[in-house]
Chain A
Amino acid sequence: MPSTLVEKYFRTEKLPQIWCPGCGHGIITRSIASAIDQSGLDKDKVCIVSGIGCSSRAPGYMDFNTLHTTHGRALAFATGIKLANPEIKVIVITGDGDATAIGGNHLIHACRRNIGITTIVYNNNIYGMTGGQYSPTTPKGDKGTTAPFGNIDKSFDICSLASAAGATYTARATAYHANLLTTLVKNALANDGFSLVEAVSACPTYYGRKNKKGNAVEMMEWQKNNAVNVAAASKMTQEQLEGKFLIGEFKNKPEPEYTSEYQKIIDKLAKGR
């Protein structure tokens, strides 16, 4: 029998996952289950929705109400689910490509509406499933199948993007910082409005191999050595922060949630009848 956590929240007959050895996606998925457990949510009152990609395969292994949708559209499906069932905790699992390329429009508008959806973006800086094409989060200069000489695009900072678009909770952790990730997902779940947690993953098969980042262990060591907590960063100089990236909570500013605002209109009109 697997661990209590895995036994309770996973479709164990479907394990192990299809992911490559050392893929960060498995670590992130476990952290999400752990956060749901710590939040004391009823499994039947949780719905996990995903798009298409290696990351989007996660809900298939998770023992909740789950929905595997089309590429980039998880948030559109999730919006429908939340509007029809406001009492349900709706969680979206998506990849950097799924969320910020094909699904970028859905993302900014879900943020803007502040609809009660907790989105976890598994950011591996590449399109894993289709063979390593660059994504909107591939760092400038890095390689992908579609950028054999280096990517010339600037990359998105997903958390800043979501904060600016109106998400009321944004945070980032990594597969290495899996305990922090659990805490942040738990905090995100506690926010009634739109929350986004960027989970920095590791794709040793494509991003790692194409960019000589080493194996899964070396990629996680990189996360360990280059992540700086926002709290610590405020006391560091620009020089010390060179080449580092931030983890931790960036925004936690609750505002009225979309489905409850919508309900207010319904109540008001019902009274006038």
Chain B
Amino acid sequence: MEIKDVRAGEVSYEKLIINPSWCKGCGICVAFCPKKVLSIENEKIVVNDIEKCIQCGMCELRCPDFAIYVGGKNNEKRA
């Protein structure tokens, strides 16, 4: 399921949230995601297969632009 928050430019997949408007397409999250959930299209982050995401937070940890993060309870936990 994909919910778009147009105002904030964010796209929520519930367990993972991306903000393409902040993304600079560096590819760091794509390279270090252990489950190969992510890729870059037109220089922006896209989620290929949200089912595979284990909410490990590695993408959030290393995104220089805070454009991807784990949602739900794990968002609170990692604060």
Contacts and interface: CB of A to CB of B under 8 A. Distances in A.
B8 A26 contact: no
A22 B24 contact: yes
Contact of A16 (B17, B27, B67): B67
Interface residues of B, number: 28
Interface in A8-57: 8, 10, 15-17, 19-27, 30, 37
Nearest to A22: B26
Interface in A214-246: 215-217, 220-221
Given A16-B24, A21-B26, A22-B24, A5 B79 contact: yes
A175 B65 CA distance: 13
A3 B69 contact: yes
A220 B62 contact: yes
Interface residues of A, number: 31
Given A27-B62, A216-B27, A16 B79 contact: no
A15 B24 contact: no
Contacts of A5: 78-79
A221 B66 CA distance: 20
Contacts of A3: 17, 60, 66, 69-70, 75, 78-79
A30 to B, nearest CB: 7
A165 to B, nearest CB: 31
A175 B5 CA distance: 30
A25 B76 contact: no
A15 B22 contact: yes
B28 A37 contact: no
Given A4-B76, A4-B79, A23 B28 contact: no
Contact of A1 (B8, B22, B25, B70): B8
Nearest to A175: B62
Nearest to A8: B79
A215 B22 contact: no
B54 interface: no
Contacts of B24: 16, 20-22
B27 A215 contact: yes
A179 interface: yes
Which of B10, B17, B31, B66 counts the most chain A CB atoms within 10 A? Answer: B66
Nearest to A220: B28
Nearest to B31: A217
B78 A4 contact: yes
B69 A2 contact: yes
19 contacts: A2-B19, A2-B69, A3-B17, A3-B66, A3-B70, A4-B78, A15-B22, A19-B64, A22-B24, A22-B64, A24-B64, A25-B64, A26-B64, A26-B65, A27-B61, A30-B63, A30-B66, A216-B27, A216-B64
Interface of A: 1-6, 8, 10, 15-17, 19-27, 30, 37, 175-176, 178-179, 215-217, 220-221
